[in-house]
Structure 1
Amino acid sequence: MDNDQNGYEVSRSAGGWVLSSVQARILEGVAAGFSSRRLSRELYLSSKAIDYHVGVMSDKLQAPNRVSLVSRAFVLQILRTDSWPPRIASETAD
């Protein structure tokens, strides 16, 4: 496990992109249909921070919106298909 420039732990995921533990929790929340406002309350981050991380993940997966982001995460097996609420695959999370 390594740390990114912000000190977050990171791990390798499908396709070689790096997913921080914060991004993993945000992606799970987005996949469950949570708004940025709800995620910000639950993760103790600002809504702008949530939107920033969603934007970074969307750019990495070339997803134009949240629905596409979640869809691509399932296709790339970043998100598990056998659980609800959605969870990050064990090999893609720290």
Structure 2
Amino acid sequence: MTTNGEIYYNWRNHFMVLLDRVPTPIAVCRQDGEITLANLAMAVEWGTVPGRLPGRRLQEFFRPRSAAQLDRLAEAVRLGRRSRYALEVRWPPGPEGPQRSGEFQIDLVDGAYEPRPLLLAVLHTRRPDPPAPAAEVSPVEEQILALVASGATTAAVGKAVGLTLDGVNYHLTRLSRRWRVPNRTALVARAYVLGVLDTNQWPPRPAGSA
């Protein structure tokens, strides 16, 4: 016999599989901003994985641009109003990274296993124009980034571009230091933000390639 708990966890797992296929950053939060679910796109904004976000609060990552917008949202949550609310926010993509901006669209939704409505927060980012570092990436580094973005191992990358494992790691470390990112997930995310990789292509490939 299937219990309510089993139904909940099955639902949660299926929901997460679907969310991770959505390229838009999405989080489900309690009314105090505590994250209960977050998809891969949201985690990539901070160079981490979805499993490390539950229990954290959106306020730790995103700073509202307008106190008035935040006050309206807080009042709507308090009164339980079912509508969509916009909240402009700013945030860095990682340690010492340049500040970014965007807008949350926040809806109050009923949770089947929650006593109070949840917040569905969908982040629409404003991508900056590609800055100078994008032009500094060599053709070999472009190929390496595209292969890493596709999920290739270090050995597979080296075989594809004609480098040893140490050679591949050298380029990845060099790019990570230049862009000030902590790991490969954040490095790939930064490559897309800077316009090095084509956002409309799969498998990943350098922007502007034929």
- TM-score, length basis structure 2: 0.36
1:76 to 175, 194, 206: 194
Q: Are 2:132 and 1:16 equivalent residues in the alignment?
A: yes
Instruction: Note the residue ranges of structure 2 that are not aligned, 5 or more in a row.
Output: 1-129
Aligned Cα RMSD in Å?
1.3
Matches within 5 A, 1:25-36: 25-36=143-154
Q: Point out the structure with the larger helix share.
A: 1
Aligned to 1:52: 170
The CA deviation at 1:69 is 0.3
The CA deviation at 1:86 is 0.9
2:194 maps to amino acid: L
Q: Point out the structure with the larger strand share.
A: 2
The CA deviation at 1:41 is 1.4
Q: Are 2:161 and 1:43 equivalent residues in the alignment?
A: yes
2-structure distance, mates of 1:72, 1:85: 17
> Equivalent residue of 2:180, what SS?
coil
Moved over 2 A (4+): none
Instruction: Among all aligned residue pairs of Structure 1 and Structure 2, give the percentage whose two residues are the same amino acid.
Output: 35
Query: C-alpha offsets along residues 32-61 of structure 1, whole Å, 9 cap, x if unaligned?
Result: 111111111122210000000011111111
**Greater relative contact order, per chain length (Cα 8 Å cut-off, separation 6+):** 1
When the two structures are aligned, how many residues end up with a matched partner? Answer: 78
- TM-score, length basis structure 1: 0.76
2-structure distance, mates of 1:42, 1:80: 19
Instruction: Note the residue ranges of structure 1 that are not aligned, 5 or more in a row.
Output: 1-13
